[in-house]
Structure 1
Amino acid sequence: MSLTPELLLHAYSVGVFPMSEHRDDPEIFWVDPKRRGILPLDGFHISRSLAKRIRNGGFSITINRDFAGVVAGCADRPDTWINGEIFDRYMDLHRIGHAHSLEVRHGDELVGGVYGVSLGAAFFGESMFSRQRDASKVALAYLVDRLRQGGFVLCDTQFLTDHLASLGAIEISRAAYRRQLRDAMEGSGDFTRPQIPTPHSLLQRMTQTS
């Protein structure tokens, strides 16, 4: 199957997404889970230990500074669904403004991040990675704040993992997801507009609304 940016965006708009069995498998298949993971934007959970890491971890946050580096970081594991064609098509989506990355740095080193696709008022989280303790959790905290500030109403995580559940993610039915997706497609979110908050501002906002 040959992917195009247009095909990918249509797929997301109707609730499906592509995967491959592993990095060296040229085949791509579409996934439409019966149970869908989402991260409610008003329900993100910041533990005391995570708040301490955000305040004192020495991390810096950037947006769309190294999209390719984040996708490569997400694919740098023994088992990955990101094959060469999927990597290239997300690069295409990034170039036309529909795929974004949030990078977590410690000094000059990229230590974590998350990337995904934005369409309407929905953000479809694709993958995240961490090379330093809690870096992916820090990335998600800043991501949720950015989505809130940018007018998004849906954060899709595709599947629910224990890691995501500990941060407030939940699982809903396919029908419930599609209802939320339809509403989100009628809106408009802006991923790039919000400013990157200071750790203090981030934690203040998140604790007021969680």
Structure 2
Amino acid sequence: MVNRCPDWEALDVPAAAPDGPVAFCSDLSPAGLLAAYRAGVYPFPASDEYTRALNEVLFADQVRDGRIRLVGEESTDPYAVSWWSPDPRPVLPVSSTHLSRNLARRLRNRLRWSTSVDRRFEQVVRACGAGRTPLWLTEELIACLIRLHGLGHAHSVEVWEDGDLVGGVFGLRLGPVFSMDSMFFHRPGASTVAVIDLAARFAQAGGVLLDAQRDSPHVRSLGAVLIPREQYLRQLRRAAYDSPPMPTAALPARRLAQPAGSR
């Protein structure tokens, strides 16, 4: 018999596999997505029928055995969206994110670069998905993220050069944690600047961690460290959802090349 959870709160994430999907659930509603992020999992929608069928071929046995759970009401297409929660989890403490010396030196000379928050949320999301394979930012997920942005849960940081959007990052704020979904750049270093700017603004609003979701050399270069999944989940459980907002004013990007205390 399939081992099904009624909702994300009932999912035993700490007992799930460390390096594969922990659940399948087709619900990409704003309430469902927010509940999943608060439980420490994030979605990877299938972009086409082949990917959806591959999920079923690879993981149906583990679903039947209860090693991977189905969440929510019964669906005719549960394999359309897989949900992940890696162990260990790559995170960036906002107090220790940093620019490389080379980028900091270049940024001091980029007088035309500036940053902002929530000026072009949908544009940032779509730029993050452009040309990516597999295409996990499906139209259904994008629509859900836009609604969460309107509700004040999803945010973007934009990097500008003379009025042109050249980089950005977006994700969901979960109290003291900001879960970064994706980033993009049209100029070298612009996505890094977006993340460092996010860390600086989030720290001002009482934030503690940026969740990178997936480990990579790039996020390690920004200061990411690996922590046990259970430690990450404890941070989420400490979340205070009435935290003060991040500052949104447009600011010169070159300030990020200064020591953290003087930004």
TM-score, normalised to structure 2's length?
Answer: 0.72
Q: Distance in 1 between matches of 2:119 and 2:236?
A: 28
What's the secondary structure of 2:155's corresponding residue?
strand
Aligned to 1:11: 36
What's the secondary structure of 2:83's corresponding residue?
strand
- Root-mean-square deviation (CA, aligned residues, Å) is 2.1
Structure 1 residues 54-97: Cα deviation after superposition (integer angstroms, max 9, x where no partner) = 22222121211111110000001231311111111000101111
Q: Distance in 2 between matches of 1:32 and 1:189?
A: 24
Which structure 1 residue ranges, 5 or more long, are not aligned? none
Aligned to 1:72: 126
Q: Which amino acid aligns with 2:246?
A: T
Matched, 1:114 2:169: yes
Question: 1:143-154 alignment to 2 at 5 Å?
Answer: 143-154=198-209
Structure 1 residues 139-164: Cα deviation after superposition (integer angstroms, max 9, x where no partner) = 11111101111111221111111001
Q: Which amino acid aligns with 1:51?
A: A
Q: Distance in 2 between matches of 1:63 and 1:83?
A: 23
Q: Which amino acid aligns with 1:11?
A: A
Aligned to 1:166: 221
Which structure has more relative contact order (CA 8 Å, sep 6+)? It is 1
Deviates more, 1:188-197 or 1:57-66: 188-197
Q: 1:30 aligns with which of 74, 80, 83?
A: 83
Aligned to 1:134: 189
The answer to whether the Cα contact below 8 Å between 1:142 and 1:202 also exists between their aligned partners in 2 is: yes
Judged with a 3 Å threshold, the aligned counterparts in structure 2 of structure 1 residues 12 and 201 are, in CA distance, closer, same or farther, namely: same
Q: 2:160 aligns with which of 105, 108, 124?
A: 105
Q: Distance in 2 between matches of 1:103 and 1:134?
A: 13
Structure 1 residues 127-183: Cα deviation after superposition (integer angstroms, max 9, x where no partner) = 000111111011111111011111112211111110010110111111121122222
Structure 1 residues 103-142: Cα deviation after superposition (integer angstroms, max 9, x where no partner) = 1111122111000111222211110001111110111111
Judged with a 3 Å threshold, the aligned counterparts in structure 2 of structure 1 residues 83 and 169 are, in CA distance, closer, same or farther, namely: same
Q: Distance in 1 between matches of 2:164 and 2:195?
A: 18
Count, aligned residues: 207
**Identity rate of aligned residues, in percent?**
37
Q: Distance in 2 between matches of 1:45 and 1:108?
A: 25
What's the secondary structure of 1:158's corresponding residue?
coil
Q: Which amino acid aligns with 2:98?
A: H
Q: Higher Cα Rg: structure 1 or 2?
A: 2
Q: Distance in 2 between matches of 1:197 and 1:110?
A: 14
What's the secondary structure of 1:118's corresponding residue?
strand
Question: 1:30-49 alignment to 2 at 5 Å?
Answer: 30-49=83-102
Aligned to 1:61: 115
The answer to whether the Cα contact below 8 Å between 1:40 and 1:155 also exists between their aligned partners in 2 is: yes
The answer to whether the Cα contact below 8 Å between 1:38 and 1:171 also exists between their aligned partners in 2 is: yes
Matched, 1:155 2:210: yes
Aligned to 2:231: 176
Matched, 1:87 2:142: yes
